[in-house]
Amino acid sequence: MHGTRLVCGAKDGKIIIWDADTKEIIRCLSHHTDWVTCVRFSPDEKRLASASRDGTLKIWDVETWELVFNIDDHQGKVWTVAYSPNGTKIASGSYDRTVRIWNAATGKQQTQPLSHDAFVSSVVWSPDSRRIISACHDGQIYFWSAPTGAQLGSPLHAHSGIITLLAISPDGELIASASLDRTARLWSTSTRKPFGRVLQHASEVGTVAFSPDGQLQLKLISTSNDKTVRIWDVESGKQENSLEGHTSGTLGLAVSMDGKRLVCGAKDGKVIIWDTDTKEIIRCLSHCTDWVICVRFSPDEKRLASTSRDGTLKIWDVETWELVFDIDDHQGIVGTVAYSPNGTKIASGSYDQTVRIWNAATGKQQTQPLSHSEAVYSIVWSPDSRRLFSACDDGQIYFWSAPTGTQLGSPLRAHSDIINLLAISSDGELLASASMDHTARLWSTSTRKSFGRVLQHASGVATVAFSPDGQLVATGGVQNIIFLWD
């Protein structure tokens, strides 16, 4: 959840944990004897669960990486595992045609095995942790009481092929299912009837996920072997967009002011530009050799800046899509970029613990690197383009003179954990910071003192934005809820 550790299971039975900042291996766990099929952190991230084709479910202590529980009660491959939202239980699904519920603290089985007619491929919990919903290779969805293990009614005959994945809406009212029958479908969890129409793909559907858009309308995003990302309106069931062209996961996203162009970066190092009206690819830029993390238009939209894990900042001409500048001065991943409001400068932030300011017209560095104590995650400019604000992995906010690169006073110790994003009010008087310490906070840019109360959340805050008039602040995070604050 903090983005500082990456855990991956492999076919050789190993689990490797990386430090996301240094890219170094923290630990290699080799207790499984066959493919590791699924890994999941507990909600508090103190434990890790791993499932394997060797028929075991293993629970690990995240601080020591010692094995806490080795559960081998399943009689077949364990394919899926999920912690309950309240963190007290674990559900595992297996090719032995059962789901089993475990006490997360003791590792003991809580109920009798929950029997299915076929292999279990996916398990999700209701938000209140009282229901489990499971999916099978025979296309059926089962509903269960988590406290008792009792089956709640008959299975739902949802698909004509294997169900690959389930997702549940933030309010628990809808289930989405993805299937090898080339469809994704929505179901009411209360009535168990189809909600809206069938979401048809040209090939097998591998994943589904819910997402609220800017107007708080629920959207469903589905990905498929047909190499498309499709966006559906949940209420109408209509496909809003199908963006084709990427062959890997996507990261950076930018939309032109007129809404006519959508730019998306991907893990394969490509930047693809779509025409949002025709849904056709305008251009595919493939100059990066690693993930493209961030893309930003210049204020006049004549240039596009892209940053990458390959350590480069690239500037593109939007009319010709030719590469204008290829800047490789950073000594680490370049994670964020921002044009100054007047369009004359570009600031880039990196895992090399610096912010660098560039002349937008020449691509030349304007000042000495602006040094930080940790990796830089976010940058914003003051409206007059004379000050720069940057946020770090260690929860500090730095203030800088843009013309000289001089640090303006000591860093502000704003949060006790990673700052994910900064935002600035339209008048430049307030900064908003979103952090993994479960809070968003407001700060006066003149006094650097806290403004108003702490905006408390139940989990990490990923994003923050001011309304155009500065009267409202919006925050969002891993709770899948957008909050509006006066």
Q: What are the tens digits of pLDDT across the range 119-155?
A: 999 999 999 999 999 999 999 999 999 999 999 999 9
Closest listed residue to residue 458, CA positions, set 443, 440, 472, 441: 440
Q: What is the dihedral of CA 329, 332, 335, 338, to 10 degrees?
A: -20
Predicted pLDDT at 223: 44
3-state secondary structure of 11: coil
**What residues form DSSP beta bridges with 434?**
421, 440
Predicted pLDDT at 213: 43
Predicted pLDDT at 259: 66
Beta strand ranges found along 419-472 (DSSP E): 419-424, 430-435, 439-444, 455-456, 461-466
Predicted pLDDT at 244: 52
Q: Which amino acid is at 275?
A: D
Predicted pLDDT at 12: 85
Q: How far apart are CA 440 and CA 475, in angstroms?
A: 7
Q: How far apart are CA 284 and CA 448, in angstroms?
A: 43
**CB-based contact 360:384 (threshold 8 Å):** no
Q: How far apart are CA 464 and CA 436, in angstroms?
A: 12
Q: How far apart are CA 167 and CA 201, in angstroms?
A: 18
Q: How far apart are CA 373 and CA 478, in angstroms?
A: 26
Q: Which residues of the chain have pLDDT under 70?
A: 1-4, 20, 23, 207, 209, 211-255, 259, 266-267, 478-481
Q: How far apart are CA 390 and CA 411, in angstroms?
A: 10
Task: Find the angle CA(381)-CA(383)-CA(388) to the nearest 5 degrees.
Answer: 25
Predicted pLDDT at 274: 76
**Model-level pTM?**
0.52
**CB-based contact 119:95 (threshold 8 Å):** yes
Predicted pLDDT at 212: 46
pLDDT in tens, 17-59: 887 677 678 888 988 999 998 999 999 889 999 999 999 999 9
Predicted pLDDT at 486: 76
Q: How far apart are CA 305 and CA 330, in angstroms?
A: 15
Q: Count of alpha carbons within 13 Å of 324, Cβ hemisphere only?
A: 18
Strands 271-275 and 261-266: antiparallel
